[in-house]
Amino acid sequence: MFKGWADFSAVTGAFRNRNFAIYTTGNIFSHTGLWVQRLAVGWLSWTLTESAFWVAAVAFADLFPVVVLGPFGGVLADRIDRLKVVVFCQSLSVVQSILLFSFVYFDMITIELLFALALFQGAVGGFNQPARQSLIPSLVKKEDLTSAVAINSIIFNVARFIGPAIAGVVIAAYGLAPAFAINAVSYLCVIFALLIMNLPPREAQTGRQLTILGDLLLGFRYTTRHATIGPLILLSLAMSLLVRPMNELLPAATELLFAAGAGGLAMLTAARGVGATIAGLVLAKRHNIDGLAARVVFSALLSVISVFAFIATDFLWVGVLALVVFGFAMTSSGVGTMTMIQVKVDNRVRGRVLSFNGLINRGVPALGGVAMGWVADRAGLYWPLAVGAGLCFVVFLIAMRWERRSRDSS
């Protein structure tokens, strides 16, 4: 049994692909910088306003543009060189981080300006995410794809642990401005990694070229009618609306539930990252997708349990443990769904399908966070989180029946 748990041959196999090893190295720096900046932005939002609504609104500005622009980014990723799209988007992100550093350093930042810069970064992300995720299958051999998707998540979530820890130290010692400078440098690292990769040429597209709207509708029909991808996307939609907004509300929850300050926010964010990393390691050991749908479904139940535990007391250590479980559940769901999509999707519509998945995972939690933040400013944070978790439990029961029928029919 122990030998099975210690078997990471799938992980080492993925890193034998040169392009993937280079890409992952760049991502280590990029994702760490991203989480340094995200914590800094969340804390800056709170210190400027002391409003749960504004904290969620700034998170909304960063994430929700994916809803509008993400599908167009998916069409772009399916039509042109995905690598060039990613390099251009990363360059724009460098500019955004430099502007944030400058405005904070010279004490010119306002909540409205912070909202606008977050909105700009969200728009860039709408085009970046589908192209970046669509790159992964071209970086590894087919048999290494399942592990590669999970490794990409591990890097993201290890950064979720390391980034807030760095941010907490930097903010406490030097203030907020250096946190944004760190992120700008991290983007330069991933741009360098992207430029030195040697990717195979894209397959030439055949057949009549559709309009942009036609391409969007084709990708939407493919997604909704797919026997596996469609139901998993719907489950992800429900979880993103009902329980994932706790991520966006974490800066406010740190103060309103635990009165723990920036240090407490760093601890809670890092705890979420620990749980996510554990889930990523478990998934990275897989050589195939057998039983993965059931894992995704049961992650919904884990998320419900973790939310209720988080709001049950004002003891910070309980919140930390709950966030470990929450991070595990969210990553099991997100990476599991992403892996199923990457393995089963037709490469000709990969960017569009991934953009719809990204739309749900980034934009919908932002929308839910704004709604919950609005309620929290009027009725407290407990009720919106509790109602969302309760509704997610109902969704879990429905999804469990689908997964059982799907397993019985296969």
Nearest in space to 202 (alpha carbons), one of 345, 72, 84 = 84
Q: Which residue has the higher pLDDT, 406 or 282?
A: 282
Q: Residues 256-289: pLDDT tens digits?
A: 888 887 788 888 888 887 888 888 888 877 777 7
Report which residue type is found at 354: L
Predicted pLDDT of residue 2: 40
Predicted pLDDT of residue 11: 66
CATH says 7-195+210-409 is which class? mainly alpha
pLDDT tops 90 at residue 320 = yes
Predicted pLDDT of residue 207: 52
pLDDT tops 60 at residue 208 = no
* Secondary structure of residue 330 in the 3-state scheme: helix
**Residue 303 · residue 322 · CB < 8 Å:** no
For the chain, percent of residues with pLDDT exceeding 90: 36
Predicted pLDDT of residue 410: 54
pLDDT bracket for residue 3 (50, 70, 90): very low
Helices (H), 249-291: 250-258, 261-284
Mean pLDDT estimate for the chain = 86
pLDDT tops 90 at residue 144 = no
pLDDT bracket for residue 206 (50, 70, 90): low
pLDDT bracket for residue 90 (50, 70, 90): very high
Q: Residues 230-265: pLDDT tens digits?
A: 999 999 999 999 999 888 888 888 888 888 877 888
Q: Residues 42-86: pLDDT tens digits?
A: 889 988 988 878 887 888 788 778 778 888 988 888 888 888 999
pLDDT tops 60 at residue 4 = no
Domain residue limits, the chain: 7-195+210-409
Which residue is it, tokens 């070229």?
Answer: 209
Task: Give the 3-state secondary structure of the chain.
Answer: CHHHHCCCHHHHHHHCCHHHHHHHHHHHHHHHHHHHHHHHHHHHHHHHHCCHHHHHHHHHHHHCHHHHHHHHHHHHHHHCCHHHHHHHHHHHHHHHHHHHHHHHHCCCCCHHHHHHHHHHHHHHHHHHHHHHHHHHHHCCCHHHHHHHHHHHHHHHHHHHHHHHHHHHHHHHHHCCHHHHHHHHHHHHHHHHHHHHCCCCCCCCCCCCCCCHHHHHHHHHHHHHHCCCHHHHHHHHHHHHHHCCHHHHCHHHHHHHHHCCHHHHHHHHHHHHHHHHHHHHHHHHCCCCCCCHHHHHHHHHHHHHHHHHHHCCCCCHHHHHHHHHHHHHHHHHHHHHHHHHHHHHCCHHHHHHHHHHHHHHHHHHHHHHHHHHHHHHHHHCCHHHHHHHHHHHHHHHHHHHHHHHHHHHHC
Report the alpha-carbon angle 163-253-184, nearest 5: 25
Count CB neighbours of 64 within 10 A.
25
d(C-alpha 68, C-alpha 77), whole Å: 16
Predicted pLDDT of residue 408: 62
Q: Which residues of 127-142 are buried (b: 16+ CB within 10 A; e: fewer)?
A: bbbbbbbbbbbbbbee
Predicted pLDDT of residue 235: 94
Predicted pLDDT of residue 205: 57
pLDDT tops 90 at residue 349 = no
Greatest pairwise CA separation for the chain in angstroms: 63
* Secondary structure of residue 18 in the 3-state scheme: helix
Predicted pLDDT of residue 1: 39
**Residue 396 · residue 304 · CB < 8 Å:** yes
Q: Give the predicted TM-score (pTM) of the model.
A: 0.76
Question: Which of 8-17, 165-174, 208-217, 315-324 has the least mean pLDDT?
Answer: 8-17
Q: Residues 150-161: pLDDT tens digits?
A: 888 778 767 877
CA atoms within a 13 Å half-sphere pointing along the CA-CB vector of 184: 14
